[in-house]
Each structure stands twice: as C-alpha cells, then as structure tokens.
Structure 1
C-alpha cells in the first residue's frame, strides 16, 4: 500500500459524499484527511533508458538515431510505440512503427534490430511462452 506524507483536509460535504453515514454506512471511522495523489513528474531520460513497470512490462526511451544491432531474446515480446517512430527489422523486412501503429510482435529467438528515427517512447511487453501455432499444437497434444 502506498502512503503519502502530504494530506489535504476534506470539507464536511466531501466527507459525507465519500464516507456515507446513517443506515447505509458501514462501521468504520471517517478519516479527517485523505492522502493526496502524487504530483505528475516529467521523465527526463538522458540517452537510451528503460523503466520497469511490472515483471512483464517495460517503458523504454530511445533517443533519435539510437540503433540496436540484430539480437534475440529467449521470450517473445510485443512492442507498442507510444510516441515517436521506430523501425524494426526482422526476417529481412523493415516495419516502421509509430503511435498509430498496431502493436508489433517479435517471436522468441527471432533475430531483430531496431532504429529510432525520432525520440521514441515504447512499451515492451514480455511473454514467457511463445503463443505461436507450434505452441498451440503442442498443448493440444498428439493427434
């Protein structure tokens, strides 16, 4: 549970709306203050930066011109560009992704390279099991 040290007082009306009393209320004490939401902070990365959002999701910043040479991963990934433009080369063809593009799937152990053509923010989702046709057939069992 997150706790913030800055608190704001509620008016009586706000407290009544948030914490009803009377026959519909539950038995709990009405807090005098409610935690304030944290202020928004601008992320100001310097160069290629990776932020871990969860076990499976990463928020990645790539500055304009950033290139990653051809490489592979033992897991599949979904690339979703939030802002900017990213060229992904895989299987000899290059696809340009931007914020309007559908998420791009890179299969496990599939060689791929990336090039940020503009400053780019993307969310990379990691999938431990590759959900390709071969995986689905293996799960179904032998025929």
Structure 2
C-alpha cells in the first residue's frame, strides 16, 4: 500500500492535503488523498503517476515497502516553528534515510558505524546527551 510513503512525500514537499489536491489540478479531492494515505483507498494509475510527479518522487518509490519507521522524533519547538514545519522535519529525515538505505541495498554495501564527528564539542552516547547538545546556547 502507498499510504505511508505518500504521506511522507507530501509532508516532505511541504503540502497540506488541499495544497496537493490543488497542485494536481483537483484530479482527486483532498479527502481522497487522505484516504490513500490511510490505505483506505488505492489510486488508479493516472492519479498515482500524477501524484508522484507533483511530489517529485517515482511511482516505484510510492508503491514500494517502507524500510524504516522513526518513532519518538521530537523537535525543539519555538515560536517560529509552525505545525506544518513540525511535520516537515521528521518526514524529510525519514524519507532521506529510506532513500539512502535503498541506494546501499542496490549497490550492495553496508552502512558504516557512526563515528563521533571530529571537533564536535559534545560527546553523544545516549538521547539525553543529544538533547543537551541541541539545547546548548553558545
């Protein structure tokens, strides 16, 4: 089913359901797109191709299985962060990681172990360390 990847692609592109419907010249309604995202309906081939083009992804990307699921992603909220922005960041990260892992799979290479960045002023060993670094004011 295409639900998760369609939603990730839409959020990564910064579109609301209505904005995506408008982008595809109202070929289908925002409600229909929402049903696709919840896997309650499956779009026809014409709609699927049009959605992929509007989102800048391939049809193959939309119809393939999701590789990862980021749970518990939290971002620093500020007065400048909109609700749309809060959804954009995790969707963009998840989409980028999925694409990277797909490339590794195609090329037959393994992910490298993460190494501490040289010159990074904080040591990160657990979530609390990352949170502390994220909130550190210089």
Q: Which structure: greater strand fraction?
A: 1
Q: Which structure: greater helix fraction?
A: 2
Same fold (TM over 0.5): no
**Range of TM-score over shorter length:** under 0.3
With normalisation by structure 2, the TM-score equals 0.21
The structure that has the greater radius of gyration is 1
With normalisation by structure 1, the TM-score equals 0.20
